[in-house]
Amino acid sequence: MSNEGTDQLVDNIIDEVDKVWLLDKRDDLKNDCQTFVYENYEVGNGQLGLDIKDLVIAFLSEKCADAMSEADLDAMAREDQERCDKEITYEHMTQGE
């Protein structure tokens, strides 16, 4: 691919990612996403490549795979409360109350 073709592809990827990017304060992630899209965007060779939006979703899905859900946070809060309740009960038992 010529430099002009590569430059056009890079510009297109930057523009398309900018159109769908909603994380205003995460330009660092947007840059990583643009790199991911560029590295995974298939053109030519008779292959059907993924759409740029699909690649953005794939990138964010990879980044969010280990994210904490509300259910995770609720379970952690319950475990913490149970631990605190046991500590309070133990303290009362050892102090003769």
Q: DSSP for 49-79?
A: PPPHHHHHHHHHHHHHTTPPPHHHHHHHHHH
Over residues 60-85, the pLDDT tens digits come to 999 998 888 899 899 999 999 888 88
Residue type, 3: N
* pLDDT band for position 57 (cuts 50, 70, 90): very high
Question: What is the total count of domains within the chain?
Answer: 2
Domain that residue 41 falls in? 1-66
Q: Mark whether 17 and 57 lie in a shared domain.
A: yes
58 pLDDT above the threshold of 50: yes
Please indicate, yes or no, whether residues 81 and 55 belong to a single structural domain of this protein.
Answer: no
**32 and 45 housed in the same domain:** yes
Whole-prediction pTM: 0.66
